[in-house]
């Protein structure tokens, strides 16, 4: 489980916006500026416990959700790019354009990559309306 502690900043339609504070381990991490660009981040979380504004809470993201989201964001585009490039290169060679087959592979791979980004963006908008991938408040600490 990926656990974070934070303070509820506001409640909107049963969802809590939680201010996540940097941990001491973040200071030594090379990716701290990307993961936590400011002093605190706001994370939208499902609020089944009814936490109120100002309460300190523990927020959890299930590992299977994190893994699935990573595969969607990174695995699909990379797979589609490579598959598009291989298919286009083979088609170009069969058509007798062996000299330009690398260019066709690059262009097709890039087009497939862009198409996958549009697909992922539309899927993301659909999933945003559900609570399927959202973190959950599991404990009120104060």
pLDDT tens, residue by residue, 45-104: 888 998 899 899 998 888 888 788 889 999 999 999 999 999 999 999 999 888 999 999
Q: What is the pLDDT of residues 44-53, one digit of tens each?
A: 888 899 889 9
Q: Any idea of the CA torsion for 141, 22, 54, 130, to the nearest 10 degrees? A: -90
Residues 56, 88, single domain; the answer is no
Whether residue 68 is found in the same domain as residue 121? yes
Same domain flag for 78 and 54: no
> What is the β-pairing status of strands 56-61 and 2-12?
antiparallel
Q: Range of 15's domain?
A: 2-61+131-140
Same domain flag for 38 and 78: no
Q: Are residues 70 and 46 in the same domain?
A: no
Q: Are residues 71 and 46 in the same domain?
A: no
Q: Are residues 53 and 9 in the same domain?
A: yes
Our count of domains for the chain comes to 2
Ramachandran category for residue 77: left, alpha or beta (phi over 0 → left; psi -120 to 50 → alpha): alpha
Flag whether the pTM goes above 0.85.
Answer: no
16 and 42 together in one domain:
yes
Are 72 and 57 found together in one domain?
Answer: no
CATH number for the domain harbouring residue 44: 2.40.50.140
Residues 41 and 83 in one domain: no
């Amino acid at each position: 489980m990926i656990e974070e502690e934070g303070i509820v900043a506001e409640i909107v339609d049963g969802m809590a916006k939680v201010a996540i504070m940097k941990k001491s381990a973040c200071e030594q991490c090379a990716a701290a500026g990307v993961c936590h660009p400011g002093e605190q981040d706001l994370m939208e979380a499902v609020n089944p416990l009814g936490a109120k504004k100002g309460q300190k809470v523990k927020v959890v993201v299930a590992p299977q959700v994190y893994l699935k989201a990573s595969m969607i964001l990174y695995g699909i585009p990379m797979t589609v790019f490579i598959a598009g490039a291989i298919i286009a290169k083979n088609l170009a060679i069969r058509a007798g354009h062996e000299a330009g087959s690398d260019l066709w592979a690059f262009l097709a791979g890039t087009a497939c990559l862009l198409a996958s980004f549009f697909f992922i963006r539309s899927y993301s908008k659909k999933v945003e309306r559900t609570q399927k991938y959202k973190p959950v408040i599991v404990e009120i600490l104060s």
